[in-house]
Chain A
């Protein structure tokens, strides 16, 4: 697993702040899911978030585009504060792309329509232009020939790549990935990761919840380990994997890397 050699650390990370989370807390009823989260993401940064299930990592990134509400603290995305103001929420959502574990493509629309829907209705892009953009991104994820099929006719890996293309059609400045490869057959994980790596190389700001440690080593600038709703440890991938500090991190890493 000596992938660290290929880690493109040279990728530019600007000083500009993309996401700033301060003192964020979230509860589900009485259950304290996220506790005092502080996280600043620079533009162009690629962050991998890992941790045991139920540690709140998915909830954290879902708070960033307001799929989940937080009760305390502040989140500022691209300079826009996330409040209960619907205008701000819609603005943030159209700037932040998201990929889900189960793809969530629209099964009643063709691949092309999946990709052009939001640009046409949210950005008011003319249909022709939206289709050109969609084809550009479908080519990028290497499935332009499937454009007129329905999601149900594609394999899992293809569907997830369409989901990535669909998000990219909105020209987001930040991409969130919520366990994008967890629902895929082993043979298809690579094609999705390759697409994500390509995206990282182009300088996209990315937050990925994933257990693909190879991916983390190869593209992440920072790995965050969460447990019980808290950020337990964060570091550059090299140090994170080779020299974890917290006992909980050591245990987690030994369990996922030890076999």
Chain B
């Protein structure tokens, strides 16, 4: 072998090779087209086919939008204006816009209340979503928001939401005081304190039901996209904490806790959401104490929350399983107890890994809120399917209405998806 080498093996570098910029590659639009569109016969054919499909779709879509009309009181007027030009009859959206948003039973002179609640949502959500940029005290706004929103949308005395909020506050304060003796004792004491406040406060609120009273709106009057948003926001914010608890419970060493969580998760995942909604509609009332007949919307919230929390629990379990065992051991070896090491070490990392999965469930949940239309709730889909399409004014205007529903849902879901991608980038700590 050694004869092959003409020179000797020994080598000593005497001068450094200076770093130089990489060679300039062929660049520009021409190269991009060459590489991506017409790099071979097969790709060229696919490119042409693709262009044809896009052109065909646009040829239908563009005149439909461009020639469409936004005025007209009913479908006949629409047809007169359009004169067979192939445009869409968007007048239905303009005319029924308030119904699409609020449903057909919400009193129109009170629509400013849910609208205000919606605007306030944009004040309440950022502190929770952008914790790392906003001062922590702004979270107070987020914490107060649910009670204000409830008061605005449903009306009634302001005392009820205040009592509810005070109950949570007292419960939390008692929890932090007693927590030093142990997490479980703290939790139990906190719950007892909160229930006591609610019980006493409930009596007082009933006594002074005229204090700060807004006109009451029944739950069954809620409808339209507002109902989807209420269900979506409430169920997502409830099912994430519940999902975390279920995921941790499933890992528990206590057989009863573990067994309960496993059975709950497996049962809920094995049942279609729509059956749970029918159960909510008819059967669930039997499980509540007599004389209390909780609103249909509360029963629906319970069912959707149960459903999505089981899915979120499984997503988070994946995140927990992905953490190296060393993280648990490091927490243990420093003397952190279970709640501390979960809260400070395990969950922040597991949740970060689980973000894509949680967002997936959240987006799915938000879209699944349209299923309530089958139990005769008039959400956006229920409104379109029921009162609007079956009215003689607008019968047969399918495309425009369903397109409007798609656009509304798409805006929200795309927003959620973009936020989650941004969040993932923010939480990346390895290569910064």
Contacts and interface: CB of A to CB of B under 8 A. Distances in A.
Contacts of B327: 104, 106
B22 interface: no
B332 A67 contact: yes
A108 B432 contact: no
Contacts of A105: 330
B326 A122 contact: no
Interface stretch (A11-19, A21-29, A70-78, A94-102): A94-102
B349 A108 contact: yes
State the majority secondary structure of interface residues on A: mixed
A152 B344 contact: no
Nearest to B335: A94
Given A67-B329, A102-B324, A107 B430 contact: yes
Given A102-B324, A121-B340, A108 B334 contact: no
Contacts, number: 72
Interface string B331-361: 0111111001000110011001000000000
B335 A108 contact: no
B336 A118 contact: yes
Contacts of A252: none
A135 B200 CA distance: 51
18 contacts: A65-B333, A90-B335, A90-B337, A94-B334, A94-B335, A98-B333, A100-B329, A106-B349, A107-B429, A108-B427, A117-B334, A117-B336, A118-B335, A118-B336, A121-B336, A150-B429, A151-B429, A166-B334
Contact of B430 (A98, A106, A150, A167): A150
Contacts of A86: 337
Interface string B158-194: 0000000000000000000000000000000000000
Q: A interface, how many residues as a size bin?
A: 20 to 34
B431 interface: yes
Given A67-B329, A152-B429, A108 B352 contact: yes
Contacts of A94: 334-335
Contacts of A125: none
A108 B345 CA distance: 8
Nearest to B431: A152
Interface of A: 65-67, 86, 90-91, 93-94, 96-98, 100, 102, 104-108, 117-118, 121-122, 150-153, 166-167, 170
Given A86-B337, A117-B344, 9 more contacts: A93-B335, A97-B333, A100-B326, A100-B333, A106-B330, A108-B348, A117-B334, A118-B334, A122-B340
A102 B335 contact: no
A107 B333 contact: no
Contacts of B429: 107-108, 150-152
A104 B340 CA distance: 17
Contacts of B432: 150, 153
Contact of A67 (B333, B344, B431): B333
A170 B349 contact: no
Interface residues of B, number: 22
B430 to A, nearest CB: 4
B330 A104 contact: yes
Contacts of A65: 332-333
B317 to A, nearest CB: 19
Contact of A152 (B330, B333, B336, B430): B430
A117 to B, nearest CB: 6
A172 to B, nearest CB: 10
Q: Which of B327, B352, B427 has the most CB of A within 10 A?
A: B327
The residue in A66, A106, A170 that gathers the most chain B C-beta atoms within 10 A of its C-beta is: A106
Contacts of A108: 348-349, 352, 427, 429
B326 A104 contact: yes
Interface string B390-429: 0000000000000000000000000000000000000101
A94 B341 CA distance: 14
Nearest to A92: B335
Contact of B335 (A100, A106, A122, A151): A122
Q: Which 4 A-B pairs have the closest CB atoms?
A: A94-B335, A152-B430, A104-B330, A104-B326
Contacts of A166: 334
Given A93-B335, A122-B335, A153-B432, A100 B330 contact: yes
A2 B427 CA distance: 50
Nearest to A152: B430
Nearest to B343: A121
Contacts of A151: 429
A228 B346 CA distance: 34
A161 B122 CA distance: 45
Nearest to A110: B429
Given A98-B333, A118-B334, A153-B432, A106 B326 contact: no
Contacts of A167: 333-334
B326 A102 contact: yes
Nearest to A99: B333
A164 B227 CA distance: 55
A108 B334 CA distance: 17
A66 to B, nearest CB: 8
A107 B334 CA distance: 16
A122 B334 CA distance: 8
Given A67-B333, A94-B335, A152-B429, A107 B349 contact: yes
Contacts of B336: 117-118, 121-122
B302 to A, nearest CB: 33
A207 to B, nearest CB: 13
- Which of B335, B337, B432 has most chain A Cβ within 10 Å? B335
Contacts of B335: 90-91, 93-94, 118, 122, 170
Nearest to B334: A118
A97 B330 CA distance: 10
